[in-house]
Amino acid sequence: MSTNIAKLLGIKYPIIQGGMAWVATAELAAAVSNAGALGIIGAGHMPPDALRAEIQKAKELTDKPFGVNIMLMSPFVKEVMQVVVEERVPVITTGAGNPGEYIPALKAIGSKVIPVVASVALAKRLERTGVDAVIAEGTESGGHIGELTTMALVPQVVDAVNIPVIAAGGIGDSRGIAAAFALGAKGVQLGTRFVVSEECTAHENYKKAVIKTKDRSTTTTGVSTGHPVRVIANKLSREYQEMEANGASVEELEKFGAGRLRMAAKDGDTDYGSVMIGQIAGMMKEIQTVEEIVQELVNGLPAVVENIKNTVEAE
């Protein structure tokens, strides 16, 4: 399995690991890159010096290409953009906004720029700025999400742009990868599946909570503020949604929600922390090494394709 996306990024398989804040550290990113996919450090709200240290750690752990995801709502966005330019990070993905103003500086040093989009409109606008590909991320994803499902979003983005489209949201195994390819995607991004890896440095409680989930275990908070976030339903999400139902202001909600992802991912508080994860979490049954995960994804694909063929040809 190799596509023009894999060639563009200098990797073996067209599989990208999601850039999850507090969860996608240098250790996870390097392990994913060493397995032949593209590892991504999730910068989240990281201050610039912390991100630089993380990038340098990844460079020590792998000689393969890796990326950094820049969360555009971060208060440090300008400074972290400067850091990735100085460190000449080969691939930059962005999330939670429009990266337009930063694209020239990233392209100038030869980084591949791949924004996450949740709409056709933004995909088309960004194509004109010279981005290398887009990640079309459906609402099945964990964390900050858009409205459209992967099934509806990906083919519409594929039809609207001439650059490669990478599908994200609700993809957890080879079946999901084949489905994404069927929709016209040339690559896939998976987050949830890599959370339940040995190399993922998220707290053990976070991983255990993911493995315990069923199909309907996630919920969305922040719909009232216009920043919906998918998390595992817990005491925090219920209190948050109650505040939203009672008309709490954006400021009150932001104050209540601040630091909650760190509480879950670092401190292991899965009751009052924010356990961001995708809807596919219900399918996660065990912790595997990153190498096992990538090999299972890749080696499972021919049987899925064969099954599709048999289904199509069945009389």
**Interface residues with ligand TUI (CB under 6 A)?**
21, 44, 71, 95-98, 116-118, 122, 137, 143-146, 229, 261, 276
Chain-centre distance for alpha carbon 213: 19
Output 134 or 301, the one with its CB closest to ligand TUI. Answer: 134
Shortest Cβ distance from residue 69 to ligand TUI (Å)? 7
Shorter beta-carbon distance to ligand TUI: residue 95 or 273: 95
The smaller minimum CB distance to ligand TUI, of residues 67 and 95, is found at 95
Q: 97 vs 184, which CB is nearer to ligand TUI? A: 97
Half-sphere exposure of 173 (CA within 13 A, CB side): 11
For the sheet containing 229-232, what is the strand order?
143-144, 229-232, 218-221
In angstroms, give the least distance from the CB of 144 to ligand TUI.
3
Q: Which is nearer to ligand TUI, 143 or 282 (CB)?
A: 143
Identify which of residues 168 and 298 has a Cβ nearer to ligand TUI in the complex: 168
Contacts of 287 (CB under 8 A, 6+ apart): 196, 197, 198, 207, 211
Q: Smallest distance from the beta carbon of 162 to ligand TUI, in angstroms?
A: 20
Query: Least CB distance from residue 111 to ligand TUI, whole Å?
Result: 18
Neighbours of 251 (CB within 10 A): 9
Shortest distance in whole angstroms from residue 260 CB to ligand TUI: 7
Cβ(95)–Cβ(116) under 8 Å?
yes
- Residue of closest CB approach to ligand TUI: 143
Q: For residues 157 and 178, which CB has a smaller minimum distance to ligand TUI in the complex? A: 157
Minimum separation from the CB atom of position 38 to ligand TUI (A): 16
Q: List the beta strands (DSSP E) in the chain.
A: 15-17, 39-42, 66-71, 91-95, 112-117, 134-137, 143-144, 165-168, 187-190, 218-221, 229-232
Range 54-63, long-range pairs (CB < 8 A, 24+ positions): 54/25, 54/26, 55/26, 55/83, 55/84, 55/87, 55/89, 56/87, 57/26, 57/27, 57/30, 58/26, 58/29, 58/30, 58/33, 61/26, 61/27, 61/30, 61/31, 61/34, 62/29, 62/30, 62/33, 62/34
Q: Determine how many CB atoms are found less than 10 A away from the CB of residue 224.
A: 17
Cα 99 off chain centre by = 16
Minimum CB distance to ligand TUI smaller for 71 or for 195 = 71
| Least distance between ligand TUI and beta carbon 40 (Å) | 12
Task: Decide if 110 contacts 84 (C-beta within 8 A).
Answer: no
Quote the least distance from Cβ 98 to ligand TUI, whole Å: 4
